[in-house]
Structure 1
């Protein structure tokens, strides 16, 4: 069963464009298409504060090794390793975008499946 996610219209369109231009793996494409079918679209002002989106600092707990990791997601053009920011449409961004605090997310990263629990979402802009 696919998890229901909440996306802004802009992020929804961005993900659709990635799929259309074949910028994701086949496995990611299948998962994203299924998620988009069940996604709730809202305008940015109506997006709940605990939902992963652009300009959000997200803390996740890796349920396989129990380690906490923090990601700061930004628009693709603003993502820079030296600033410790990640594109919302990078592998981790696509795995978490639209999910909310408390959600458990399973996602394939290459050949490896990882499982995360979102423990905190904080807007940075």
Structure 2
């Protein structure tokens, strides 16, 4: 997968680092460990900005985004949330889920690609429907 620039607010970085610290201390399955490692890698390479300086088309925590599945011509709408708030039935995906980690910090037009059991999956960020920072909701 090609690495693109990603953007994360200081506020999200602090909360995600806390999540990682707890998760890395109490690692569960190999899968959980891999998800934590994936998130850590993304945070390590991210451009960290103040909430007021985040690009309005970047996916931040609690953002609602429309994605297109490049392999199926299918549109998906997800809200990126912390694990405790995840609910697949309502489109609330955890930042620790592979797709959640993949979209964090991406911008409209970015294409994410990752390996799934059935092969590779490619999604394109079509639109950020709601971003807390753009709406002035800096502490969601």
Same fold per TM (> 0.5)? Answer: yes
Please give the root-mean-square deviation of Cα atoms over the aligned residues, in Å.
2.9
Partner of 1:53: 60
Extract unaligned runs of 5+ from structure 2. Answer: 133-140
SS at match of 1:105: strand
Partner of 2:69: 62
Question: Is 1:86 the counterpart of 2:93 in the alignment?
Answer: yes
Q: Deviations over 1:3-35 (max 9, x none)?
A: 1100122433416826x7154427x736852x4
Q: Deviations over 1:60-112 (max 9, x none)?
A: 11111221111112233222345432223322210100001011111223563
Structure 1 or 2, whichever has the larger Rg, is 2
Partner of 1:29: 37
Partner of 1:95: 102
CA contact (8 A) 1:50 1:122 kept: no
Q: How many residue pairs were aligned?
A: 123
Distance 1:76 1:10, change over 3 A: farther
Question: Is 1:5 the counterpart of 2:6 in the alignment?
Answer: yes
Extract unaligned runs of 5+ from structure 1. Answer: none
